[in-house]
Amino acid sequence: MFGCFGIFIFDFLGIQSKIMEKIKIYDTTLRDGMQTEGITFSLEDKLLIAKRLDGLGVDYIEGGYAASNPKEMQFFKDAAGLGLKNSRLAAFGSTHRADTKPADDISINSIITCKTPVATLVGKAWDMQVETVLGCSLDRNLQICADSVKYLKSKGLEVIFDAEHFFDGFRDNPEYAAKVLEAVCGAGADVLVLCDTNGGTLPEEIFNITKTIFKKFGKIEIGIHTHNDSDCAVANSLAAVQAGARHIQGTINGLGERCGNANLCSVIPNLAIKMGFDVLVPDKLKQLTEVSRYIFEIANLSPVINMPYVGESAFAHKAGLHVDALRKNRRTYEHIDPAVVGNERRFLISELSGKSNILAELEKSKIAGDKKLAGRILDEVQRLENEGYQFEAANASFELLVRKVMGTYKPFFELIKYNTSVVKHASGEMFTEATVKLKVAGNVEHQVGEGDGPVDALDAAIQKSLGKFYPSISDIHLIDYKVRVVNAGAGTAARVRVNIQFRDKDSFWGTVGCSENIIEASWQALIDGVEYKLQKDIR
């Protein structure tokens, strides 16, 4: 059929310029995204996310399924006070039940109670679903869909109709699937959204079916809602746009039930940068990476580092040949300028790096360097990585290493000794304490710290020892701590590598430590984190 979607887009579809034609972005992170396994957004979480999505400039924010629980309804009450400037809030619900009228239906009335300007209504478009799930006749379903839309329109709402399982339904019974759209179109629906609910349809079929519907219902806005069960949600969304859809539904980071929904962090830049559509309020695209990471943080999920456009590794370069080429022309190994989506270029340092990686990193850090210096640094990196260190996620430790090789490193304090103790009582109660003795500005500081574990206690003792000399260290926060065994064959005597991620008010940095003793490896990473912060503050 086709080797990849890029070929499909350009050869099969024959793209024509669509410069500045508007595509409406409908975000359903607060409903579909919350159906991700392991995710539960609190009311406060949802309000914070809504505010951030409005700042990004999406056209619609689907707030949730109001009839499902009191928290969802409370969200809509509180969201009314957010003062949204760019986005229209949508309440989600289903068509009325077969044994009721719209005016008596809980779901329909919950939408109205939300007092949003937009109602998103899901209805069955697959004859098998109608007969098996709803248990009513096909004709009755057409009436249910039409009456539900008509009732919401009578309340002055913009009505978006999500035709559930549309592509499966069209494949099995195209005449009936089209009749569902005809029914809601006649009742006044503003947008007809074609849903690939099972996520099993491929781009070519999405294009062909959407094109058929667009030709038949071209006077009304056509939308697309895809799931990622075949890893084609983004490609399917773009295929639907090529076929005439001008309304795209998806979630930030592709969150959603099972394998997730179309990832707006890929959909939006593809539409804006690659296809020339108007998709966001001007100059908002550069917020995309920040919004992606913000949603991951709120959801308590680790970011997907290799996610296109917004991932930490999206513009990270490791191969020496690649870095050498990039230093000559950024277009050699980057398809866009990372700053356009708020991301940044990174040069990874490892034993596989060449001198080009070192030189590029020196230039980025505004540290003067030459090939001889780069060679010395590379030799040291390779020596340390042979011992188990790794600098790809430890930019702070690498910068300190560079200063040491250059002879410009000046420590802010000296270690005299440290000690940690962990006591567990028969009752199960645990107590952890660390003592740290440092020499700081000619003074000996001997402090005790308590914590939930040895690393936390050491951090507390370091803060006490240095705080009165360097008050800014109170801004340091440990945000991630990882341990990996380097040589597993050595059993309990194996070396371990500790990576710690830090942040302060305006930046993030990572460090590394390595030792047969996990406390010593942690100490190395902790001290590098503090040293880097103090070095950073005096630049």
Higher per-residue pLDDT: 7 or 40? 40
**Does 116 have pLDDT greater than 60?**
yes
Residue 12 — very low, low, confident or very high, per pLDDT cuts 50/70/90?
Answer: very low
Higher per-residue pLDDT: 1 or 48? 48
163 close to 181: Cβ distance less than 8 angstroms: yes
- Name the 3-class secondary structure at 123: strand
Residue type, 464: K
- pLDDT of amino acid 407: 84
323 close to 376: Cβ distance less than 8 angstroms: no
338 close to 315: Cβ distance less than 8 angstroms: yes
- pLDDT of amino acid 370: 64
Residues of the chain with pLDDT > 90, as a percent, come to 68
What's the rounded mean pLDDT across residues 77-85? 95
Closest CA to 46 of 15, 25, 68: 68
Pairing of strands 477-485, 496-503: antiparallel
Closest CA to 340 of 260, 272, 391: 272
Pairing of strands 414-424, 430-440: antiparallel
- Per mean pLDDT, which of 255-264, 467-476, 490-499 is the most reliable? 255-264
Q: Measured between alpha carbons, how far is 127 from 175 in angstroms, rounded to an integer? A: 10
- pLDDT of amino acid 327: 67
Condensed to tens digits (0 to 9), the pLDDT of residues 162-202 reads 999 999 999 999 999 999 999 999 999 999 999 999 999 99
Residue 305 — very low, low, confident or very high, per pLDDT cuts 50/70/90?
Answer: confident
Q: pTM above the 0.85 mark?
A: no
- pLDDT of amino acid 320: 63
Residue 441, phi then psi, degrees to nearest 5:
50, 40
**Does 256 have pLDDT greater than 60?**
yes
Residue 4 — very low, low, confident or very high, per pLDDT cuts 50/70/90?
Answer: very low
- pLDDT of amino acid 410: 87
Fold of 414-537: Double Stranded RNA Binding Domain (3.30.160)
Q: Is 48 exposed, middle or buried (0-12, 13-18, 19+ CB in 10 A)?
A: middle
Q: Which two tokens stand for residue 392?
A: 């790809």
Condensed to tens digits (0 to 9), the pLDDT of residues 327-383 reads 677 778 789 999 999 988 877 665 555 555 666 666 665 555 567 777 888 888 888
- pLDDT of amino acid 356: 59
How far is residue 330 from each of residues 47, 60, 277, 340, measured CA to CA in Å?
39, 35, 24, 14
What's the rounded mean pLDDT across residues 2-6? 37
Say which residues have a Cβ less than 8 Å from residue 56's Cβ, sequence separation at least 6: 86, 280, 284, 287, 288, 291
- pLDDT of amino acid 493: 62
* Distinct helix (H) and strand (E) counts, the chain: 18, 18
- pLDDT of amino acid 228: 98
- pLDDT of amino acid 350: 59
- pLDDT of amino acid 9: 40
Q: Where are the domains of the chain?
A: 26-298, 316-387, 414-537
- pLDDT of amino acid 267: 98
What's the rounded mean pLDDT across residues 489-504? 81
**Does 217 have pLDDT greater than 50?**
yes
Condensed to tens digits (0 to 9), the pLDDT of residues 424-446 reads 888 888 889 999 999 998 999 99
Positive/negative CA dihedral, 351, 355, 360, 366? positive
CA angle 460/463/468 to nearest 5° reads 145
**Does 419 have pLDDT greater than 80?**
yes
397 close to 512: Cβ distance less than 8 angstroms: yes
> Would you tell me which CATH number, out of the four given (3.40.50.620, 3.20.20.70, 3.40.50.150, 3.40.50.300), belongs to the domain 26-298?
3.20.20.70
- Name the 3-class secondary structure at 139: helix
Residue 18 — very low, low, confident or very high, per pLDDT cuts 50/70/90?
Answer: very low
Q: HEC string of 26-92?
A: EECCCCCHHHCCCCCCCHHHHHHHHHHHHHHCCCEEEEEECCCCHHHHHHHHHHCCCCCCCCEEEEE
**Does 7 have pLDDT greater than 50?**
no
Residue 13 — very low, low, confident or very high, per pLDDT cuts 50/70/90?
Answer: very low
Same topology, domains 26-298 and 414-537? Answer is: no
Average pLDDT over the chain, rounded to whole?
89
